[in-house]
């Protein structure tokens, strides 16, 4: 196994262990159920039409593979830095350094996309309010919430995530009524819209894969369960049960919601609302003649975006805190308060909010699509690294302590890697993803250069005399 250099541990660098299993599950749902589904769905539908259902099914399979891979590793090693620290242990310091910075980059960009989405939802009621003004207000709100004690934060996020889950269940119920029974003055739609207006594959089978980057980003957030493990009361058991619950609920909610949305309203109408004019969820209820439901849905979507941004800020702070703790980021970022809160790391992770505010001034609502693509690049790269790490992790002794296992031997991880690599391959054909690749790949190169220039020699010097003790952040 590879090691990374141990750095002196200050007495004020420990995180609090106070999250329950339910809070961990709701944190994962809070992060994953966000703009990738509610605003990104419209962008996906505009490209793939009704066949986007196939895209989300594939996305659910890939997310399940990654989630179980994470659970297998973190149930054995519920450590600070999560999959990034485990990658350092299994693949070497460069991999651990790179994947954590890439994931942190994806998270801060994701935070920005969530607050921009929240600003778009506000424009549903008050279109005169500038996007950037709402972004600033919401940014201050999320920062304040993340400064609270982790148990209180977990409770607040659980409540927000519960609102989203309840709203999706109501959405599904109303969708079933519209499809099967209809409403007074409105006949049941049935499922004819799935094959009308050009058929189930109006833009050809290739379109199913062209939207996979957005679809994968819709499932981003499952990593939060693993990241929160060091702050859990029972890390190993909590990761196992929380991840199983999370991926089951997430897949069901996404697939059923997308199916009903496309059945109730023609995809040609839903495709007109993709991150610019609002959400296809709101548009569906408005077209059904339920204006009050549309208003309520928009309010729920506002809560959804803020909840996802809140959870992502939590994860980003913990990731850069682990980097600082291992000597890979400025030392002040590893400090915590007496309550175990990494406030300095939280402030550093608000960079995405600043980026979102600046972009919103110049690009307005187009900011959402740009940030969505950039975040998707980072998530796909992270998921590939997680699956590669799992293949090496299974060769070591730590694998014996796993309480859950991704079945199928190396076949499923390898299929997942191949599928995610092919998503990268389609990026050149999608405008925003092309931009994301042009930014993302150079970012990875820069991270590698920074490691070689500032950290490689120190690590080689520290390990020259023999194995170096593994720092606390990657101790089992």
Mean pLDDT by 10 residues, the chain (476 residues): 42 54 69 66 84 92 91 86 88 90 85 81 84 85 82 77 81 86 82 90 89 82 77 69 76 86 86 58 68 75 83 86 85 82 86 72 63 78 94 88 86 94 78 74 87 77 45 40
**DSSP-assigned states of every residue in 163-198:** HHHHHHHHHHHHHHIIIII-BTTB---TTGGGTTTT
In a domain, 474, yes or no: no
In a domain, 134, yes or no: yes
Q: What's the CATH number where 256 sits?
A: 1.20.1740.10
Q: How many domains does the chain have?
A: 1
In a domain, 8, yes or no: no
pTM strictly above 0.75: yes
In a domain, 448, yes or no: yes
Contact between 22 and 30 under an 8 Å Cβ cutoff? The reply is no
In a domain, 470, yes or no: no
All residues at 6 or more sequence positions from 105 whose CB lies less than 8 Å from its CB, including other chains: 378, 443
In a domain, 386, yes or no: yes
Range of the structural domain that residue 293 is part of: 21-464
- The pLDDT, as a whole number, for residue 438 is 77
Contact between 72 and 405 under an 8 Å Cβ cutoff? The reply is yes
Q: Please tell me whether residue 232 adopts helix, strand or coil conformation.
A: strand
Q: What is the H or E stretch that residue 27 is in?
A: helix 21-32
In a domain, 335, yes or no: yes
Distance CA 458, CA 260 (A): 56
All residues at 6 or more sequence positions from 329 whose CB lies less than 8 Å from its CB, including other chains: 320, 323
Contact between 35 and 367 under an 8 Å Cβ cutoff? The reply is no
DSSP 8-class letter at 471: P
Q: Which residues pair with 232 in a beta bridge?
A: 19
415-430: per-residue pLDDT in tens? 999 999 988 877 667 7
Backbone angles phi, psi at 436, to 5 degrees: -60, -40
- The pLDDT, as a whole number, for residue 466 is 41
**DSSP-assigned states of every residue in 315-350:** HHHHHHHHHHHTTSS-GGGG---TTS--HHHHHHTT
């Amino acid at each position: 196994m590879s090691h990374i250099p141990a750095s002196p541990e200050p007495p004020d660098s420990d995180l609090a262990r106070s999250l329950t299993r339910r809070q961990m599950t709701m944190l994962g749902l809070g992060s994953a159920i966000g703009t990738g589904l509610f605003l990104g769905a419209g962008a996906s539908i505009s490209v793939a039409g009704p066949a986007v259902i196939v895209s989300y099914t594939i996305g659910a399979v890939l997310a399940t593979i990654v989630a179980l891979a994470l659970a297998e590793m973190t149930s054995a090693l519920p450590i600070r830095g999560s999959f990034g620290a485990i990658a350092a242990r299994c693949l070497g310091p460069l991999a651990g350094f790179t994947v954590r910075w890439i994931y942190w980059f994806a998270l801060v960009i994701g935070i920005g996309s969530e607050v921009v989405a929240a600003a778009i939802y506000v424009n549903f009621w008050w279109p005169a309010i500038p996007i950037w003004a709402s972004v600033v207000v919401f940014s201050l709100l999320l920062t304040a919430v993340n400064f609270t004690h982790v148990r209180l934060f977990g409770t607040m996020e659980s409540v927000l995530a519960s609102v989203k889950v309840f709203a999706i269940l109501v959405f599904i119920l109303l969708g079933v009524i519209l499809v099967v029974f209809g409403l007074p003055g409105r006949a049941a739609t049935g499922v004819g819209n799935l094959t009308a207006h050009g058929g189930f594959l109006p833009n050809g089978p290739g379109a199913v894969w062209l939207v996979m980057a957005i679809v994968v980003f819709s499932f981003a957030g499952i990593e939060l369960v693993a990241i929160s493990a060091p702050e859990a009361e029972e890390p190993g058991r909590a990761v196992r049960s929380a991840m199983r619950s999370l991926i089951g609920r997430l897949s069901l909610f996404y697939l059923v919601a997308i199916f009903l949305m496309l059945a109730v309203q023609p995809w040609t109408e839903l495709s007109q609302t993709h991150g610019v004019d609002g959400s296809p969820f709101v548009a569906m209820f408005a077209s059904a003649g339920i204006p009050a439901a549309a208003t309520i849905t928009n309010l729920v979507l506002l809560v959804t975006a803020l909840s996802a941004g809140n959870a992502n800020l939590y994860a980003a702070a913990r990731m850069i805190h682990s980097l600082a703790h291992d000597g890979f980021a400025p030392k002040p970022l590893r400090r915590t308060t007496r309550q175990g809160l990494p406030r300095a790391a939280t402030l550093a992770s608000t960079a995405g909010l600043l980026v979102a505010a600046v972009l919103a001034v110049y690009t307005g609502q187009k900011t959402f699509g740009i940030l969505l693509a950039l975040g998707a690049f980072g998530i796909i790269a992270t998921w590939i690294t997680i699956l590669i790490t799992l293949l090496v992790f299974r060769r070591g002794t730590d694998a014996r302590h796993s309480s859950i296992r991704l079945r199928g031997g190396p076949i499923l991880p390898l299929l997942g890697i191949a599928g995610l690599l092919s998503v990268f391959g389609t990026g050149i054909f999608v405008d925003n993803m092309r931009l994301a690749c042009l930014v993302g790949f150079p970012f990875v190169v820069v991270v590698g250069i920074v490691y070689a220039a500032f950290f490689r020699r120190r690590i080689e010097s520290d390990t020259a005399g023999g194995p170096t003790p593994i720092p606390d952040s990657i101790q089992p």
